[in-house]
Amino acid sequence: MTTYTMPDYRGRFGDFGGRFVPELLMPALLELEEAYKEAKKDDSFMEELDYYLKEYVGRETPLYEAKNLAKKLGSGRIFLKREDLNHTGAHKINNSIGQALLAKRMGKKKIVAETGAGQHGVATATVCALLDLECIVFMGELDVERQALNVFRMELLGAEVKSVAQGSGTLKDAVNEALRYWVSNVEDTHYILGSVVGPHPFPKIVRDFQAVIGQETKRQIQVHTGKLPNHIIAAVGGGSNAIGMFHPFIDDEAVKLYGVEAGGLGLASGKHAATLSAGETGVLHGTMTQLLQSESGQIKEAFSISAGLDYPGVGPEHSHLAASKRVTYDSITDEEALEAFQLLSKTEGIIPALESSHAIAYAIKLAKEVPANETIVINLSGRGDKDVQQVKNKLEER
């Protein structure tokens, strides 16, 4: 058995990853890489991180057996990793708290972040309030409109939300502006990137802070079943919840891993965010990865009912895991996600985030194909409270 050690010293996951950034940012990336290396070796840093994860975030999160759902599907045992029960309602805070502590350690007093629907923005604003850091969040103009309540939430937490009018006014443009802000304020500011995207060392750091999801799951499933699961499913936008879940299982080759992308209105429609299923290799936001782009290398807009999956790139490690075939990537349409959203609400009394609903929808399909003695774990990355208004509108449109 080989041991998985990606990325290499250049931040490469096979052919993907790297640091495609202006020279202005290179010293900051090198400083961050060094600070992170030191922090990981420092017991007091890791203890502080553990303290906040336990006492503030509320870890560990349960691995809950969804018996009603399994019965309804006539399938084998299904478990939900309840990241929705974290403080602020999603897995995002695992990374925000880790990076904020790292920023403090580096002596940075200001934090910049991007956000799509607002989950990462809220998580980052929250930890900045906790740790007394100044916080600026860039958010696309369209998302500011669609997620007015999350904007207010961030402001309530003391963050400054900057609306981004450039481009399509969504997550991609918010990342561009956050990068531009960081370029201009790099000496006193740390950029808390919210997913496993961007230049090295971000994909590694974010993955490591999210890997707590998979580490807990590995322990918990053995308590429940006495063995590793057969199938693990997670939704992939940028891919942080999925990598966090998958990473501790990569060397366990018998465990099948599935990353579920947003199929939007269907791959044939061209309106989707299924980067790994329908993208081409390129460079965006500092990393080489699979992208939705035109033949001349211009980045296309992504499309999904779920704002958290609405990104035309994907983490470079996912591109590598797709190329090496260790993880199976597939897509789920808006319609299928909406059905799963309602099904889990009705059967288990758990309203999942629309992002997580993609993973649930895939599990519903998979459950019909695999033997009933096989176990499925689904990463329930966030709760759906933020989505109920949108889902209500969608259902009324029908």
Query: Is residue 176 a contact residue for other proteins (CB under 8 A)?
Result: yes
Nearest approach, Cβ of 167 to other proteins (angstroms)?
7
Residue 303, helix vs strand vs coil: coil
Distance CA 25, CA 352 (A): 37
Residue 292, token pair as written in the block: 């939705």
Decide if residue 28 touches other proteins (CB under 8 A): yes
Beta partners for 134? 110
Task: Give yes or no: 114 in active site.
Answer: yes
Given candidates 286, 315, 316, 382, which one binds other proteins under the rule CB under 8 A? 286
Q: Could you tell me the smallest distance in angstroms from the CB atom of residue 319 to other proteins?
A: 14
Give the closest residue to 17 by CA, choosing from 315, 287, 275, 206.
287
Q: Both tokens of residue 397?
A: 């449109």
Distance of CA 201 to the CA centre of its chain: 16
Q: Of these, 6, 16, 19, 78, which contacts other proteins (CB under 8 A)?
A: 19
Q: Which residues of 88-112 are buried (b: 16+ CB within 10 A; e: fewer)?
A: bbbbbbbbbbbbbbbbbbbebebbb
For residues 86-115, which are near other proteins according to CB under 8 A? Answer: none
Closest Cα to residue 336, out of 394, 252, 293?
394
92 labelled catalytic: yes
Which position among 159, 257, 284, 314 is part of the footprint of other proteins (CB under 8 A)? 284
Residue 295 touching other proteins (CB under 8 A) = yes
- Six token digits for residue 127: 């930890």
- Give me the 141-160 binding string for other proteins, x by CB under 8 A, dash otherwise: --------------------
**Does position 184 bind other proteins by CB under 8 A?**
yes
Binds other proteins by CB under 8 A, chosen from 179, 192, 322, 332: 179
Exactly one of 166, 269, 324, 389 binds other proteins (CB under 8 A); that residue is 166
Q: Is the peptide bond before 352 cis (omega within 30 degrees of 0)?
A: no
Two tokens, residue 82: 């309840």
Nearer to other proteins, 86 or 289 (CB): 289
Say which residues have a Cβ less than 8 Å from residue 45's Cβ, sequence separation at least 6.
39, 101, 105
Choose the catalytic residue: 81, 92, 256, 386.
Answer: 92
Distance separating alpha carbons of residues 104 and 98, to the nearest angstrom: 10
Tell the smallest beta-carbon distance from residue 299 to other proteins (Å). Answer: 5
| Contact flag: residue 180 with other proteins (CB under 8 A) | yes
Question: CB of 28: closest distance to other proteins in angstroms?
Answer: 7
Where along the sequence are the contacts to other proteins (CB under 8 A)? 10, 18-28, 166-167, 172, 176, 179-180, 183-184, 186-187, 280-286, 288, 291, 293, 295-299
Which residues are tagged catalytic? 92, 114, 381
